[in-house]
A and B are shown apart, each in its own frame.
Chain A
């Protein structure tokens, strides 16, 4: 199982329309070989559509698609070296686990003995050796999920696609299986495209994340880059929690911006030239509640929740309602307390309005 040649995926100006509905507007993207890339975004933004275009289950309305350097725009799914793991697993209920895993090899007329041996190796890889004679209905959800993965990887695809592969599993199993998938992908050096709703899942498994919104790509980057340097308020809000407040940028110099917020001037890191009205991104962890007389934004606690290791507060201020997370230490604030919110300027970020 080591001769897999991972392929790159390249979209150039890809448009997909279903009748009047535009599911993708002019998509350009490049996925490097051997990387696990996640498509992340709110419901209906076009993630599944993108995946199906890579698989060849849908044909692009416009633009070209290359896989492993080859133009596959008009090639149907049968002829693309791409495998897919479906959300519902789509295991064939009338075949045993081994027959399921060997299916792709059987239809390609790989000799029986070799197919059986490769199927067995695939099952071993996902930790299901010895389960070959069972029917899919005799497996647990997590096991079925792993059979689906085995079935997809025994073909040594150039690209492995996974459409919300964990959404049918419970929270604990999810973490376990996602780590397994990541390990298998890295061990085999597969190119994988992974669709999920769940931003934590995306951060945990991905080399790169492609955030989509409204049939477009909103930002591409590593998990850290998306969190640290969001390019828009949508990204800031979608990746990790964020408080957004309107502010004025006076000037930008040496990567530091002078920002006026609520009458106070702050110095905030900024890699982009901005001026005039902008928005400041304040992560809940980067805010600190102080006694009312200290410097900062004045406000009143309207909600306080005790979560064991941390406190969550909602504070009403004149720059808006702020969501604050702070470690539990000493006497926490209570609902109705007047407070002052201190801003850690190094951790604040700026995005355009």
Chain B
């Protein structure tokens, strides 16, 4: 183990001495820093007067010396641990105190000249030093207890805790700080009146014609969407499991489609159908001579769009729940002379109640966090997620207001999340791994069946229409006015000058950026998610519950809030990332991590624990066990996590829209820009290409997954 520590220390020392400590404008690949006169490495900078970098270097040297000076292993580990922690702590502290711009700690107390002059954000040198110190600390920690701890496990925990701390908690902290900030200080008394203002929580709409506060609007919409998607999802799940409906496969496809659709596309299609110049609007207007209204640009428009977007999530949750109701219970009820309606009413439905609550809360959170649909449709109905955006990019930028709104939104989503965890968090996994039960699920009684069809089939039809619109709309000149067939939109977006081979389309840049960033983010997400799942399922350690909670937390933080918080936290040193592609990758990894974790947990729970234990008793350490036993058996789960994070990275818009830059624009924010300019044709053509790209990617991965699973299944079947 001393060798591991020495290796990391060597890496740290080398980075301290030869890599640029601070961020350079040109990036690390440009080697100009090595030759020009600016003293840029940690060592040179220290000599040149930035004395506050010295302690980090000293900590590395001291830890190095300790490895040879102290003989007793436990004592050595303890001393090294303390040294490394002190080094890390100092790095963080100096980074937060001595900054060039933006908020800094102890602003009023520390006012020396060098301190006010500040320094640039941390660069490669600082990053690697921090990493080295972190691993030195974790490896030493694993050695400093009684006996031999597992360095691999402790290091993985340490790394994930550090990453979640820096990229989830640190930015969210910034929002809190910003919300309490007033000119030249912090104030509680300023915060509360602003937080509880009637702009946010007002109930005026209940009593008169004026509109309610944005938080109330969001809340109302979320409750409605939660309820609506749960009912629709239940209807679908019942049709799927309890009837012999013919076109089940088509239904399945319909429910998967919205997952690979960028969130605002549905809103867009609704505009094409029901907007002022929409097909349906004009048809109805002609037919009944009605006034063409703008109803779609308000509550109902957003509500429909959300129902269309989020019902599949409810369906996926509820199909597990409905299948989880053991047929033998229903059979028991029927042998007790209950009829089918009574069986459903008194047995099946109560058994599904926790699942229904779960589906409701998921729909609720998704609706609160939804940004794309309100952005496109909600001009007449303001909600928190878009108001936050406008507070940042609007005519009058008001970050403090954005912070306060973000806190309101966070309060709502976190409450729902906590409720879900407290109430039924643990139960939700169990339904998947339920015992196989022979017997027949009771089929629905006729009235109920009709009801389900009546609810679900119109929805399915609407979804079909929406998607046909997307295809159709991308091929017509000007929707609503000139329906002649054209390729113009595709050519404008994805044109290629064949003679020179140049890509002349306007969309190519953002298309390639999106694909590149998503393909980098997807494996990282899978890696972080699955490692976390491994720790949670297979390792015991102190503070595991808190660890699990904090890794799942980012699920409850809406994208808009993450976007705002990233701007506030990473626009300034010590970690200055805005405008880079790194920040986009990071935001995807931490936004989508909970999904990777869940997938990993589900997959890992299906691997018999005695396989790991066998490997360990045969003398393998945890790293070897993960590499040789767990990973090879988790192939399908890994591919699923990859697909999902890839798709999510391509379709997400809420956090991204804050973080894109001219150099690194993403497809979704590009499309939103076109929509705002009224270029619907181009926007839709681009969306169609995205959807097809994702379908291709999913099919490709599915092929691989499908094959793997079959082979594994017949191998495992008899042996375990």
Interface residues of A (CB under 8 A from B): 55-57, 73-80, 82-84, 86-94, 103-104, 107-108, 135-137, 139, 144, 151-152, 155, 161
Choose among A80, A89, A161 the residue with the greatest number of B CB atoms under 10 Å from its CB: A89
Partner of A77, one of B613, B624, B715: B613
Do B147 and A90 touch across chains, with their CB atoms under 8 A apart? Answer: no
Min CB distance A310 to B, Å, is: 40
Do A76 and B719 touch across chains, with their CB atoms under 8 A apart? Answer: no
Partner of B616, one of A77, A88, A94, A137: A77
B441 part of interface (Cβ distance < 8 Å): no
Q: Which residues of A contact B614 (CB under 8 A)?
A: 84, 86, 90-92, 151
Q: Which residues of A contact B615 (CB under 8 A)?
A: 92, 103, 107
Do A57 and B613 touch across chains, with their CB atoms under 8 A apart? Answer: yes
- In the complex, the chain B residue whose C-beta lies closest to that of A138 is B718
Do B719 and A137 touch across chains, with their CB atoms under 8 A apart? Answer: yes
Do A83 and B618 touch across chains, with their CB atoms under 8 A apart? Answer: yes
Interface string of B590-619 (1 = CB under 8 A from A): 000000000000000000101101111111
Once A57-B613, A76-B150 are accepted as A-B contacts, the answer to whether A155 and B618 lie under 8 Å apart by CB is yes
Choose among B150, B617, B621, B714 the residue with the greatest number of A CB atoms under 10 Å from its CB: B617
Chain A interface, DSSP helix/strand/loop, else mixed: loop
Q: Which residues of A contact B717 (CB under 8 A)?
A: 137
> With A and B bound together, what is the CA distance between A38 and B308 in angstroms?
63
> With A and B bound together, what is the CA distance between A220 and B599 in angstroms?
48
Given contacts A73-B147, A88-B610, A90-B613, 20 further A-B contacts (CB under 8 A): A55-B613, A55-B617, A76-B150, A77-B616, A78-B616, A79-B148, A79-B619, A83-B617, A84-B613, A86-B613, A87-B610, A88-B608, A90-B720, A91-B720, A92-B614, A94-B632, A94-B715, A107-B615, A151-B618, A155-B618
> With A and B bound together, what is the CA distance between A94 and B714 in angstroms?
11
Q: Which residues of A contact B617 (CB under 8 A)?
A: 55-57, 77, 80, 82-84, 152, 161
Min CB distance B708 to A, Å, is: 11
B146 part of interface (Cβ distance < 8 Å): yes
Q: Which residues of A contact B719 (CB under 8 A)?
A: 89, 91, 93, 135-137, 139, 144
B105 part of interface (Cβ distance < 8 Å): no
Interface string of B133-158 (1 = CB under 8 A from A): 00000000000011111100000000
Min CB distance A76 to B, Å, is: 6
Q: Which residues of A contact B716 (CB under 8 A)?
A: 93, 137
Do A155 and B619 touch across chains, with their CB atoms under 8 A apart? Answer: yes
Q: Which residues of A contact B619 (CB under 8 A)?
A: 78-79, 104, 107-108, 155
Partner of A103, one of B620, B633, B718: B620
Min CB distance A5 to B, Å, is: 16
Q: Which residues of A contact B628 (CB under 8 A)?
A: 92, 103, 107
The B81-105 residues at the A interface (CB cut-off 8 A) are none
> With A and B bound together, what is the CA distance between A316 and B715 in angstroms?
56
Min CB distance B638 to A, Å, is: 14
Min CB distance A92 to B, Å, is: 6
Q: Which residues of B contact A92 (CB under 8 A)?
A: 611, 614-615, 628-629
- Place the interface of chain B in its size category: 20 to 34
> With A and B bound together, what is the CA distance between A92 and B624 in angstroms?
14
Could you list 22 A-B pairs, sorted by A, with CB under 8 Å? A73-B146, A74-B146, A74-B147, A76-B149, A79-B619, A83-B618, A87-B610, A92-B614, A94-B632, A94-B633, A103-B618, A103-B620, A104-B618, A104-B620, A107-B615, A107-B618, A107-B621, A135-B719, A136-B719, A137-B716, A152-B618, A155-B618
B712 part of interface (Cβ distance < 8 Å): yes
> With A and B bound together, what is the CA distance between A79 and B717 in angstroms?
31
Q: Which residues of A contact B618 (CB under 8 A)?
A: 83, 103-104, 107, 151-152, 155
> With A and B bound together, what is the CA distance between A144 and B717 in angstroms?
13
The B259-293 residues at the A interface (CB cut-off 8 A) are none
- In the complex, the chain B residue whose C-beta lies closest to that of A163 is B610
Min CB distance B261 to A, Å, is: 37
> With A and B bound together, what is the CA distance between A61 and B37 in angstroms?
61
Do A76 and B147 touch across chains, with their CB atoms under 8 A apart? Answer: yes
Choose among A74, A79, A88, A90 the residue with the greatest number of B CB atoms under 10 Å from its CB: A90
> With A and B bound together, what is the CA distance between A33 and B718 in angstroms?
36
Q: Which residues of A contact B620 (CB under 8 A)?
A: 78, 103-104, 107
> With A and B bound together, what is the CA distance between A83 and B712 in angstroms?
27
Interface string of B373-411 (1 = CB under 8 A from A): 000000000000000000000000000000000000000
Q: Which residues of B contact A155 (CB under 8 A)?
A: 618-619
The B173-192 residues at the A interface (CB cut-off 8 A) are none
The B397-443 residues at the A interface (CB cut-off 8 A) are none
Q: Which residues of A contact B616 (CB under 8 A)?
A: 57, 76-78
Interface string of B455-466 (1 = CB under 8 A from A): 000000000000
Min CB distance A90 to B, Å, is: 4
> With A and B bound together, what is the CA distance between A203 and B173 in angstroms?
66
> With A and B bound together, what is the CA distance between A85 and B235 in angstroms?
49
> With A and B bound together, what is the CA distance between A86 and B617 in angstroms?
10
Choose among A55, A77, A151, A161 the residue with the greatest number of B CB atoms under 10 Å from its CB: A77
Q: Which residues of B contact A57 (CB under 8 A)?
A: 613, 616-617
Min CB distance A74 to B, Å, is: 2
- In the complex, the chain A residue whose C-beta lies closest to that of B714 is A137
Q: Which residues of B contact A84 (CB under 8 A)?
A: 613-614, 617
Partner of B608, one of A80, A90, A107, A108: A90
- In the complex, the chain A residue whose C-beta lies closest to that of B618 is A104
> With A and B bound together, what is the CA distance between A152 and B150 in angstroms?
23
> With A and B bound together, what is the CA distance between A51 and B719 in angstroms?
23
Min CB distance A192 to B, Å, is: 14
> With A and B bound together, what is the CA distance between A151 and B617 in angstroms?
11
Q: Which residues of B contact A74 (CB under 8 A)?
A: 145-148
Q: Which residues of B contact A78 (CB under 8 A)?
A: 150, 616, 619-622
Q: Which residues of B contact A152 (CB under 8 A)?
A: 617-618
Min CB distance A112 to B, Å, is: 15
> With A and B bound together, what is the CA distance between A78 and B147 in angstroms?
12
Interface string of B7-49 (1 = CB under 8 A from A): 0000000000000000000000000000000000000000000
Q: Which residues of B contact A94 (CB under 8 A)?
A: 632-633, 712, 715
Choose among A57, A80, A82 the residue with the greatest number of B CB atoms under 10 Å from its CB: A57
Choose among B150, B619, B621 the residue with the greatest number of A CB atoms under 10 Å from its CB: B619
> With A and B bound together, what is the CA distance between A104 and B608 in angstroms?
19
Once A84-B614, A92-B611 are accepted as A-B contacts, the answer to whether A107 and B712 lie under 8 Å apart by CB is no
Q: Which residues of A contact B714 (CB under 8 A)?
A: 137
Min CB distance A215 to B, Å, is: 21
Once A75-B147, A91-B719, A155-B618 are accepted as A-B contacts, the answer to whether A86 and B610 lie under 8 Å apart by CB is yes
